[in-house]
Structure 1
Amino acid sequence: MGAHILYKNVSAAALAVALGFALAPDFAAAQSYSFTNVQVEGNQRIQTSTIVAYTGIERGKSVSAGELNDAYQRILDSGVFESVEIVPRGNTLVIKVTEFPTISRISFEGNRRIKDDALLALIESSPRRVFNPTVAERDAAALAEAYGAQGRLASTVTPRIIRRSDNRVDLVFEISEGDTTEVERVSFVGNRVFSDRRLRRVLETKQAGLLRTFIRADTLIEDRLQFDRQVLRDFYLSRGYVDVRVNSTNAEVTEERDGVFLVVDITEGQQFTFGDISVTSEMSEADADEFRDVLRLRPGVVYNPALVENAITRLETLAIRKGIDFLRAEPRVTRNDRDLTLDVEFVLTRGPRVFVERIDIEGNTTTLDRVIRRQFRTVEGDPFNPREIRESAERIRALGFFETAEVEVREGSSPSEVVVDVDVVEQPTGSLSLGGAYSVNDGFGVAIGLSERNFLGRGQRLSLNISTAQESEEYSIGFTEPNLLGRDLQLDLELGVSETDSSFSEFDTSRAFFSPALTFNTSENTRLQLRYTWGEDEMVSRGDDSSGVPLAGPVIRSEISQGERTNSTIGFTYTFDSRLNGLDSNSGYLFEVGADYAGVGGDSEYVRTTAKLIGQRRILNGDVTLRATIEAGAFSWQGDGFSRSIDRFVLSPSILRGFEPGGVGPRDQSSNGAGGNYNDFLGGNYYAVARLDAEFPLGLPEEIGLRGGLFYDVGNLWGLNNANTGASSAIVGREGSFRHVVGFSLLWTTGFGPLRFNFSKALKKEDFDEEQNFDLTLQARF
């Protein structure tokens, strides 16, 4: 079997016919011909009558030389002949043809990145059809384009044929995939306000880095470049640069075609702020002043189209609550170039009287219709609101159940009605995750997770997680119903067991728990969670050391002696998050307060309350992030007997850096009777911690993924009035004192996950505290 280079004989055949006419003076000079007989030679699969029909020549009818040439062209254009020759012989027209071979099979060689089935779907040629060189060339171009879409610009595809018997051929596409084309450098032209480094963080396309084996965002992909143009424009618009233009994105390919230098040309323009904000009404039932009161826009704030959209939503939502149908809020912007402000007048007008006739959903084979329908605030028969339909489409896409979700509106059975068409393409929603974890506190561990985000097509979440580390294990199963009883009410159920074997304590723990919770929105920015938790836990003794001395001190031993205890707890968490409305991408704050009461049955009775406030702001064009966190808690024992260390608060390094888990707070330093002292942490009833963080670039190449951070923590853990300490005077730290810690962090974004290296130094501490000057946390998923 020999492989032959793909050939094209059409041009050669045409040239032969032309030369035949030139060399046959009687034929060329004749003005017309008449044939009583047509003879076809060389055809095997194509019937003679079919070929004669292609000519369009009737027997006995006079035809010109031009009509003969047209007949030749019609036969050739049929696409089934490799060569065609027309030879007049008196009153006989001889047609000599060579048929294209039939494709026996199609194969691909050299492809590893794209499977055969995916390549077959891209080509026109197919087995048992006539081979056509032009089509094969088109197929090769389509395959090369598919590789180019994956960033492999150096790939080549060459079609070849292998001759078989009976005029059959095997069509082989020889593929050289080549390496992906890396983006060696991303630079910008025309940017004055934002640095290249800051703008590179906006783009999804990244520069080639050390970890490109795991992070392939540095591959040049055309679709990604188009997306980057849009996000870059959105970045400027959200910061008040309304005249921004992304003029071009030029990719200069290296000679080896394995790398490009990407240059983005930008015209930034000037930054605008909001000027006068006003509301006028063209509807008698809509009071402009009342609608003006619901706006949160203020003059002097940097202009952001998202703020305008949010204001329109507020106005139209108020209209719905007041029963005013078809109200539309139209923003009319007046530009003031002198002071760089934009006056916005919201005009309340009556929109067209159009109703939603029905909502049609297609493409969902697994997901139930009601899961999609409940993303609409509009139902059949309601007034049509284009903005609400767009927001519904975004909610459908945000579910994460669909590869694509298109929502279109078309005219219904009458001009006053519309039909909303929802066309979705589902994607897998189940996942199996295998991971590894490491931390200074818990050591190495593995994590296995099974998760289904669209259980039985009902939009429910079902998960099974197994997490093991050297010093802790947890096995849990979780279930979430996001729309209980068809309302915006989330139900969470969690069931699990856990065990710890910590080197930072002189006892082990075991726990089993079951916790249902209900969560719902109470306003635009607030959520409330109500929960119940049943738990059974136990402190487990580790016995004595080799000399027979108990490993745990008297306080811990008394708590261990309590054995298994059950807790039946009800609680709530109230959260206010300014980031939910997305009005300010550079700043935000979170406030969270919660309380739990144990005593609804069970062996324990106590009240535990916590509060947290986090504020964050990005400065210097977003390069530097400042964050402040304040949190506190109080524990009050209400029942008989005594509380235990596992009931009270224990500060971990995630709350107060610079110390081991349980490294600060009250401790039992009683004598162990063998010439030494115990040093058991006991937890505390109260704690208060403040953390200040600053994160900033280090000036290193961005592709390395390293950022720096400075932090200052101050915190205290105190109170032990409900512990079984007896009259012992060996308890230290009851009254507490504030510890002060400073430190430096390295933040490294890697292909394995985010790493955080904390180097800390306690400026103020107690002699009995246990410091931890270095902390590393690694979370890996693959």
Structure 2
Amino acid sequence: MTYKEQHVAAKLRLQSTTFLKPAIVAAFMGISTTSALLPTVAAAQTYSFTAVQIEGLDAIEADTVMTYLGFGRGEPVSAAELNDAYKRLVASGLFDTVTVDPRGSTLVVKVAEFPLINRINIEGNKALKDDQLLALLQSQPRYVFNPATAEQDAETIAQAYADKGRIAAQVEPVIIRRAQNRVDLVFEVVEGKNTEIERITFTGNRAFSDARLRRVIGSKQAGILRFFVSADTFDPGRVEFDKQLLADFYASRGYVDFDAVAVTSEVAPQEDGYFVTYEIREGQQFSFGAISTATEVEGIDPAAFEGLARIREGATYNPAVVDRATARMEKQLQQDGYGFVRVDPRITRNERDGTLDIAFTIVRGPRIVVERIDIEGNETTLDRVVRQQFTTVEGDPFNPRAIRAAAERIRALGYFANVDVQAREGSSSDSVIVDVNVEEQGTGAFSFGATYALGQGFGFMLAFSETNFLGRGQYLNLEFSGGLDNRNYAVSFAEPNLFGRDLRLGFSGFYNQTTWQEGLFDSRQFAVEPSLEFPLSETGRLRVLGGVEGAEVMNYVGNSPTMLAEQARGFQYGGYAGAKYSFDTRRNGLGNPTNFYGEVAGTVGGLGADSQYAKATALANVTTTAINDSITLSATVEGGMIRTMSGAGTRVTDRFMMSPDDVLGFGSYGMGPRDLAAADDDALGGNYYGAARLEARFPIGLPEEYNITGGVFVHAGSVWGLDNSPGVDDDLYIRASGGAALYWETPIGPLRFSYAYPFMKEAYDVEQRFGVSISTGF
């Protein structure tokens, strides 16, 4: 039984007439009657009360009433002053009713005190917790109850729900009488449903369609997954942030004059949704014109900084490119020992040509230093995690550009719901204090569920991840997954700023035990791997690694000589070491429509086992957009090789096995060398592999809120080559397929439904034309 139900008999609804109207009427009747009994000339009459009689006090002291009256015994008081005293008593908020009655030389003041609040309770709230709402209230326990304040508190609670997208929420204050003139104050909440964004439209846009712009902003239209997506709830704060996202999007594509003129939010007639319209002005698109360097500081050669601009004339203008070039030049100036010197990019517009000339001018900046950096709001996250995002420390010259860049890096951490970085004057005019105010948000995730994959069957998954472990900015992931044929355990940990520098120390380990779906053999594998990753350039990183790995093939039931020899080798384990270099243009944060990704990795393994090997892999991808960003094109090539250095040769657990995602249309272990002499045509894997993929994704006319797009693809690849395996067909045969796919962005990840037709294959290949998998990208 709820708190309200226990005391429903004693409940009194709060209405203005219950507390205020009788008091005001009675009081004014008293004053009016007194005035009516006096002659007209008595309007200027004064009173002098030798006694003030106060009736009805319980918890409030008489001195408090005298203070509000504003005059003492024996003092002359006019009729107007007496009326003002009455108004002060009513406005004090301490009394339910007030009457002031002059009786000769005695002033009789009759009051009925408002009760004291015993406690405050909130009922019916689920979306917002008690502690969130109680912190907003002006009414407080052990303070005098005021119906006007209670009504205002009810409006405050309703507004809190409106800010969360529940504009239909209703809140009613209710009191329950208690002994000794006390009341319990209850706020009854009817939350209603989330008020969703039914439609988002744009006016004034010519370069980009509504569909493309809807993908830019954070707010989303309500779709078929409305129960899981919070971004479709109307939030005025998010709408304002969306305007900035639109401005950044247009600016990165050369529209420097873009302006979100207005945003109109209209409530649907049923009050169950919003129609949001962005009125925008795109302006002219600009490209980079002449790029030059100049100096106003004696002794600095501007020609030495020309190579740091790295801007191609004719490329689409992007302010982020200018900021990057400016930062590189300022960093070089600091390394050359120039303090309080900055780079000022001066822009000249050429309206007719549609170009912007940039002159990077080295100038002297104000001699202002950073006195200190104050960090507030981080209850869990350590100060050093935030401080590590600053390239500026106490005592360095103040550089607004560096402070803004640090603020963006703090936001990119994902630890905080809100980040505000401001600079203010320090203890002297030549110093500043940088204030960092953050609002923490949840960084841990616990997930579990069922999975299904063609070729592997049903399974389940249980995982825990934390991106800010113990507030140290560390990453931790624990995962278990499995099904009837496999068990997988994995753990990974990373410290992204070892010794306070951009050094990522990682540790990972896994153990899996698998029964192939065909039931031909079982396998066990494990690996433990520490690694260290660091930047080599703005877009390139190197990862060095080492560890111990082991594997075993067992319970083989076929007749392949190769597989029987594999099983006879038993459980083998040994050490390995390697390195991986990756290049990703997205790391520069420029948001270019064309991005390049590449990686090259090499490993030497089997150290201490019965066979040693060298392994190398490489991958390159380019992704770009076309037709005003409505179509995404992707091209990927990859390959690898493993060679025996000494010993018994490579193992099936070390060799390459094409997965269905590498070349669509083929099943797990569906292509590659086969022991044709065996009755079961066992897949053995290969020492070499290569694949190429061309893909295109595009809208298919469905509403954007469904997050469903279409695609077409052509894949080709092969696995080949074994070590001295007689009777095995390990020649190079190209396989190829083509088909179509549907991509669905869901809360559990991007799903891909594909149909692929293999038009180049071998007779013994295993086809899998229909596929469902998690879509991956670069």
**Structure 2 match to 1:736:** 732
Cα distance change of structure 1 residues 180 and 485 upon mapping to structure 2, 3 Å threshold: closer
Aligned equivalents of 1:123 and 1:699: distance in 2? Answer: 48
- Alpha-carbon displacement from aligned partner over 1:439-481 (angstroms, at most 9, x marks no partner): 1132222222233433444333333221213433211222222
Structure 1, 365-374 or 523-532: larger mean CA deviation = 365-374
CA shift, 1:711, in A, is 0.6
Aligned equivalents of 1:209 and 1:399: distance in 2? Answer: 29
**Structure 2 match to 1:223:** 237
Local SS of the residue matching 1:379: coil
Q: Residue 692 of structure 2 contacts residue 716 of structure 2 at CA under 8 Å; is this kept in 1?
A: yes
**Structure 1 match to 2:555:** 541
CA shift, 1:60, in A, is 2.0
Matched, 1:414 2:420: no
**Structure 2 match to 1:643:** 650
Aligned equivalents of 1:420 and 1:17: distance in 2? Answer: 57
Which amino acid is the alignment partner of residue 655 of structure 2? Answer: R
Which amino acid is the alignment partner of residue 433 of structure 2? Answer: V
Cα distance change of structure 1 residues 413 and 261 upon mapping to structure 2, 3 Å threshold: closer
Please list every run of 5 or more consecutive structure 1 residues that lacks an aligned counterpart in the other structure. 544-550, 672-676
Please list every run of 5 or more consecutive structure 2 residues that lacks an aligned counterpart in the other structure. 1-8
**Structure 2 match to 1:674:** none
**Structure 2 match to 1:710:** 712
Aligned equivalents of 1:62 and 1:530: distance in 2? Answer: 93
- Alpha-carbon displacement from aligned partner over 1:498-518 (angstroms, at most 9, x marks no partner): 112122572221012111111
**Structure 2 match to 1:634:** 641
Alignment of 1:134-533 (within 5 A): 134-503=148-517, 506-533=520-547
Aligned equivalents of 1:180 and 1:451: distance in 2? Answer: 29
- Alpha-carbon displacement from aligned partner over 1:653-674 (angstroms, at most 9, x marks no partner): 1222211122112110115xxx
CA shift, 1:12, in A, is 5.0
**Structure 1 match to 2:691:** 689
Aligned equivalents of 1:7 and 1:214: distance in 2? Answer: 39
CA shift, 1:696, in A, is 0.6
**Structure 1 match to 2:590:** 583
Aligned equivalents of 1:85 and 1:191: distance in 2? Answer: 66
TM-score computed with the length of structure 2 as normaliser: 0.93
What percentage of aligned pairs have identical amino acids?
46
Aligned equivalents of 2:751 and 2:285: distance in 1? Answer: 36
Matched, 1:22 2:32: yes
Q: Residue 752 of structure 1 contacts residue 779 of structure 1 at CA under 8 Å; is this kept in 2?
A: no
Cα distance change of structure 1 residues 710 and 393 upon mapping to structure 2, 3 Å threshold: same
Which amino acid is the alignment partner of residue 30 of structure 2? Answer: G
Aligned equivalents of 2:638 and 2:629: distance in 1? Answer: 26
Aligned equivalents of 1:246 and 1:120: distance in 2? Answer: 37
Structure 1, 174-183 or 613-622: larger mean CA deviation = 174-183
**Structure 2 match to 1:751:** 747
Cα distance change of structure 1 residues 744 and 179 upon mapping to structure 2, 3 Å threshold: same
**Structure 1 match to 2:5:** none
Aligned equivalents of 1:205 and 1:370: distance in 2? Answer: 33
Aligned equivalents of 2:713 and 2:233: distance in 1? Answer: 36
Q: Residue 187 of structure 1 contacts residue 264 of structure 1 at CA under 8 Å; is this kept in 2?
A: yes
**Structure 2 match to 1:556:** 563
- Alpha-carbon displacement from aligned partner over 1:704-760 (angstroms, at most 9, x marks no partner): 22111111011122222x14x24x3xx22x221211210111111223432111100
Structure 1, 311-320 or 477-486: larger mean CA deviation = 477-486
Aligned equivalents of 2:63 and 2:584: distance in 1? Answer: 80
Aligned equivalents of 2:129 and 2:372: distance in 1? Answer: 42
Cα distance change of structure 1 residues 430 and 206 upon mapping to structure 2, 3 Å threshold: closer
Aligned equivalents of 1:373 and 1:225: distance in 2? Answer: 30
Cα distance change of structure 1 residues 779 and 312 upon mapping to structure 2, 3 Å threshold: closer
Q: Residue 522 of structure 2 contacts residue 555 of structure 2 at CA under 8 Å; is this kept in 1?
A: yes
Q: Residue 505 of structure 1 contacts residue 681 of structure 1 at CA under 8 Å; is this kept in 2?
A: no
Which amino acid is the alignment partner of residue 408 of structure 1? Answer: Q
Q: Residue 359 of structure 1 contacts residue 422 of structure 1 at CA under 8 Å; is this kept in 2?
A: yes
Matched, 1:606 2:616: no
Local SS of the residue matching 1:125: coil
**Structure 2 match to 1:546:** none
CA shift, 1:236, in A, is 1.6
- Alpha-carbon displacement from aligned partner over 1:585-606 (angstroms, at most 9, x marks no partner): 3110111111111254332211
CA shift, 1:27, in A, is 4.0
Q: Residue 363 of structure 1 contacts residue 424 of structure 1 at CA under 8 Å; is this kept in 2?
A: yes
- Alpha-carbon displacement from aligned partner over 1:381-407 (angstroms, at most 9, x marks no partner): 333322222222333333334444443
Cα distance change of structure 1 residues 365 and 215 upon mapping to structure 2, 3 Å threshold: closer
Which amino acid is the alignment partner of residue 225 of structure 2? Answer: L
Matched, 1:39 2:53: yes
Aligned equivalents of 2:764 and 2:98: distance in 1? Answer: 100
CA shift, 1:40, in A, is 1.3
Structure 1, 604-613 or 218-227: larger mean CA deviation = 218-227
Aligned equivalents of 2:563 and 2:416: distance in 1? Answer: 53
- Alpha-carbon displacement from aligned partner over 1:318-347 (angstroms, at most 9, x marks no partner): 212222222211122222222222222221
Q: Residue 30 of structure 2 contacts residue 100 of structure 2 at CA under 8 Å; is this kept in 1?
A: no
**Structure 1 match to 2:3:** none
Which amino acid is the alignment partner of residue 119 of structure 2? Answer: R
Q: Residue 504 of structure 1 contacts residue 661 of structure 1 at CA under 8 Å; is this kept in 2?
A: no
**Structure 2 match to 1:617:** 624
Which amino acid is the alignment partner of residue 117 of structure 1? Answer: D
Q: Residue 600 of structure 2 contacts residue 617 of structure 2 at CA under 8 Å; is this kept in 1?
A: yes
Cα distance change of structure 1 residues 698 and 522 upon mapping to structure 2, 3 Å threshold: same
Which amino acid is the alignment partner of residue 744 of structure 1? Answer: A
Structure 1, 422-431 or 112-121: larger mean CA deviation = 422-431
Which amino acid is the alignment partner of residue 646 of structure 2? Answer: G
Aligned equivalents of 2:193 and 2:394: distance in 1? Answer: 53
Q: Residue 355 of structure 1 contacts residue 417 of structure 1 at CA under 8 Å; is this kept in 2?
A: yes
